[in-house]
Structure 1
Amino acid sequence: MQLLTAIKYRKLTPEQLFMVSVLAVNGGNYLYNLILGRLLGPTAFADAAVLITFLLVLSFVAMTFQLVTAKFSVLFENELFKNFIARVYQQAFAVGIGLGILIIAFASQLQALFNTSSSTMFIIFGCGVPLYFLMSVNRGAFQGKKAFKSLSITYQGEMLSRLVITLGLILLLDIQSSAVIAIGILLSFVFGLFPFKMKQISFKKPAALDAKYSKQIKNFFLLTAFYELTQIIINNSDILLVKHYFESYEAGLYASLALIGRIVYFIAWMFVMLLLPAVVELKKEGKETASVLFKYVGYIAAISIVIVFTCLAFPELIINILFGEQYIAMAPLLWKYAIATSMFAISNIFAYYYLSLDKYVPVIISGVFGMLQMVLVIFFHDSLEQVVHMQIVAMLLLLVIQLSFFVFDSKKK
């Protein structure tokens, strides 16, 4: 209601502007996936889903650098910040080059592992990885400094360019190759770099940071890297495992189910982006932080309830509108998948809250249950329905444990 009032009187705060922007970006990304699903059909869309999943995996890996940059952009100022940001850019670019080379070198093996029609799409994708890491550090600096207008522009640029370029190549040139999708993704990284502050990049060796700060950065980086690894496992292992164990047609059907069901998580990510700098700043000022957590958990819980009940009441209508008649077999599983992602989204808010406070137990908990989800799917995948049920079991346990830890931690305080 506050957001609608602000829009009405054109008095959007930077945070509200960013929330509107993220909703638009998520809507654009959904449109991109939905159009691909309709144009390509289930079998060809399975290949596209692998690339999209690789993009999500890359975003979680690069998010480690973005969150580290965001946190210490709040804490560091002046020369200390300049040395820190130059160092992070150098390290992120080096990691991006390393990962890109690995993807290119093992493109043929990746094609065999995920049963894709071509290895070229992995080679093209690998070329864009270093750019994505630079983009993520740039976004982290905007996030930490609460420059939400610039942060919004980078996300809008990436989304819009990928949508226009990919669909333009498919529709105008009538090319339905997975390589075209990879080209669209690669070029979107270039557009996502802007606005970019070149002066923050230095090719010289930056001045050494104080040992106290270096240790603080290293600890948070390792903690964040571990948590982002759990995010990769929980968010993407099911699609990749289904692509491995099932035929391309079934994998394409499942990809459509995952895309619709994960809308809760993508909306939740908007609140995570606002949560981290807010909690770090409150902690820095010695103020209580739990009220921020309660606010965002309340938002996600309310959104989750609406989405789950909508998926339960109108599953066939939703799938028919979004993907078309050929995907309708997934209708009975839609509300179940939405429940799994809703529980994960709420658990995620708790984990990022404690990550902001440098507490590692919830991160380890997420890692354990991320592995549990993958193990359950590996051993129980007789049908797509069973795959979804295994995720519900893992995410229910994760949410219960995260809530229990919060209650225990609050009582201890």
Structure 2
Amino acid sequence: MQLLATLKSRKLTPEQLFMVSVLAVNGGNYLYNLILGRILGPAEFADAAVLITFLLVLSFVAMTFQLVTAKFSVLFENEVFKNFIVKVYKQAVVAGIILGALIIGFASQLQAVFNTSSSTMFIIFGFGVPLYFLMSVNRGTFQGKKAFKSLSITYQGEMLSRLLITLGIILLLNIQSSAAIAVGILISFVFGLFPFKVKQLRFKNATPLDAKYRKQIKNFFLLTAFYELTQIIINNSDILLVKHYFESYEAGLYASLALIGRIVYFIAWMFVMLLLPAVVELKKEGKETASILFKYVGYIAIISTIIVLGCLLLPELIINILFGEQYIAMAPLLWKYAIATSMFAISNIFAYYYLSLDKYVPVIISGVFGMLQMFLVVFYHDSLEQVVLMQIVAMALLLVIQIGFFMLESRQQKKLSL
């Protein structure tokens, strides 16, 4: 009773509440994928994995708008912020409509490239793209203003609705198709919009921003867009390439491996969401920022070590509990894939740290090694194990160089301060 009273008396900070919420959202998304894997089986799960991968790709593209909105929500105030938010909403809607139209228009070609059973799933998905872009700008506002309660609600709404609607269609209506999964994803975007500040979505002309602000926004937008492109390549190219080069059964097995191995990256994303506004605010106040970086790198390193050891010592048990015996062939590769994603997650913290400080070099480094990973898989894919090993090579080099850049940058800063 005393313990309960103590817990009740301690109120969670907004940041802690958001971290708990993100863990719950990631857990729900994981459950969504695991249930699909068990219900559909490896071959059909390969199609679902393509849709889930498209969702991840979309999240990275839209993240450009979210991070730009988050950063300048910290820097801009009053009328400047109002004019900025109107502008970014307009651009997000236009970008969403164009990208959605491209997905719908090339649905048949996408079906052929990724060997899916239907093109309908791409058409349904395409209609949801503009909604996702609106949702991302809305989230960026909450992130920049540190309105973590509202930010948590948008993520929870998207996750819960997708989980419940998709499972309802599959289990209650007995429709086990990729189109049913696409419908669940589309509807979840609507729920993810709330809470939404309708007043900010104005399409009448706002007062133009000063040239200096427009230049700041443009530079950060281009830098962030380039980095998110590298995220797309590193995070998703392996699944799409495996779906292209391997049979559906093997592609489904690999999708289960990727889902389990990437848990460390999904946890790391929680810290990235907290990192950017904190670093921008400290820089604005003229304070040092490296301590924030060390804190989050330390968290990810500890979590990564625990996950890799678990995957090394208990691979069959983990796969059997999460996906079932039909996926057990991936057990020997689980710890290796976890190493690759762990190195990427730590590298990612460094890259987003420098992105917050408007430093370009780490972003370019990530782009180079994202392309290297893709080319390695294109040229070396005799087996699924070889695909995983190529990712370990690329991510190890990326992490070493990111750490080297940080050490070099720190030395230069010390020399300048003397």
Describe how 1:62-101 pairs up with structure 2 within 5 A.
62-101=62-101
Counterpart of 1:239?
239
1:123-181 Cα offsets, whole Å, 9 max, x none, are 00000000000000000000000000000000000000000000000000111010000
CA distance in structure 2 between the partners assigned to 1:398 and 1:6 by the alignment: 45
Any conservation in 2 of the 1:6–1:12 contact (CA below 8 Å)? no
Describe how 1:116-135 pairs up with structure 2 within 5 A.
116-135=116-135
CA distance in structure 2 between the partners assigned to 1:205 and 1:99 by the alignment: 24
Partner SS for 1:12: coil
Counterpart of 1:186?
186
Does 2:33 align with 1:33? yes
Q: Which amino acid aligns with 1:295?
A: K
Q: Which amino acid aligns with 2:387?
A: V
CA distance in structure 1 between the partners assigned to 2:359 and 2:55 by the alignment: 28
Q: How far is the alpha carbon of 1:65 from its aligned partner?
A: 0.2
Q: How far is the alpha carbon of 1:206 from its aligned partner?
A: 1.8
Does 2:276 align with 1:276? yes
Counterpart of 1:12?
12
Rate the CA distance shift 1:40–1:7 in 2: closer, same or farther, 3 A: farther
Counterpart of 1:355?
355
Q: How far is the alpha carbon of 1:219 from its aligned partner?
A: 0.2
Counterpart of 1:320?
320
Any conservation in 2 of the 1:351–1:363 contact (CA below 8 Å)? yes
Q: How far is the alpha carbon of 1:9 from its aligned partner?
A: 3.7
Partner SS for 1:272: helix
Any conservation in 2 of the 1:166–1:183 contact (CA below 8 Å)? yes
Rate the CA distance shift 1:231–1:6 in 2: closer, same or farther, 3 A: farther
Q: Which amino acid aligns with 1:188?
A: S
Identity of aligned residues (%): 87
Q: How far is the alpha carbon of 1:207 from its aligned partner?
A: 1.4
Q: How far is the alpha carbon of 1:236 from its aligned partner?
A: 0.1
Describe how 1:108-147 pairs up with structure 2 within 5 A.
108-147=108-147
Length-normalised TM-score, structure 1: 0.98
Structure 1 vs Structure 2 CA RMSD = 1.1
1:180-226 Cα offsets, whole Å, 9 max, x none, are 00000000000000000000011112211000000000000000000
CA distance in structure 2 between the partners assigned to 1:282 and 1:34 by the alignment: 40
Counterpart of 2:416?
none
CA distance in structure 2 between the partners assigned to 1:325 and 1:56 by the alignment: 27
Counterpart of 1:406?
406
Q: How far is the alpha carbon of 1:10 from its aligned partner?
A: 3.9
Describe how 1:234-273 pairs up with structure 2 within 5 A.
234-273=234-273
Rate the CA distance shift 1:7–1:37 in 2: closer, same or farther, 3 A: farther
Rate the CA distance shift 1:128–1:209 in 2: closer, same or farther, 3 A: same
CA distance in structure 1 between the partners assigned to 2:248 and 2:205 by the alignment: 49
Counterpart of 1:332?
332
Q: How far is the alpha carbon of 1:311 from its aligned partner?
A: 0.3
CA distance in structure 2 between the partners assigned to 1:379 and 1:112 by the alignment: 21
Structure 1 gaps, min length 5: none
Partner SS for 1:292: helix
Describe how 1:153-164 pairs up with structure 2 within 5 A.
153-164=153-164
CA distance in structure 2 between the partners assigned to 1:125 and 1:358 by the alignment: 33
Does 2:249 align with 1:230? no
1:308-336 Cα offsets, whole Å, 9 max, x none, are 00000000000000000000000000000
Q: How far is the alpha carbon of 1:16 from its aligned partner?
A: 0.1
CA distance in structure 2 between the partners assigned to 1:7 and 1:203 by the alignment: 47
Structure 1 residue ranges (4+ consecutive) displaced by more than 4 angstroms after TM superposition: 4-8
Q: How far is the alpha carbon of 1:6 from its aligned partner?
A: 8.8
Rate the CA distance shift 1:27–1:6 in 2: closer, same or farther, 3 A: farther
Q: Which amino acid aligns with 1:321?
A: I
Q: How far is the alpha carbon of 1:8 from its aligned partner?
A: 5.7
Does 2:48 align with 1:42? no
Q: How far is the alpha carbon of 1:7 from its aligned partner?
A: 5.3
CA distance in structure 1 between the partners assigned to 2:120 and 2:52 by the alignment: 15
Q: Which amino acid aligns with 2:255?
A: A
CA distance in structure 1 between the partners assigned to 2:206 and 2:263 by the alignment: 41
1:20-60 Cα offsets, whole Å, 9 max, x none, are 00000000000000000000000000000000000000000
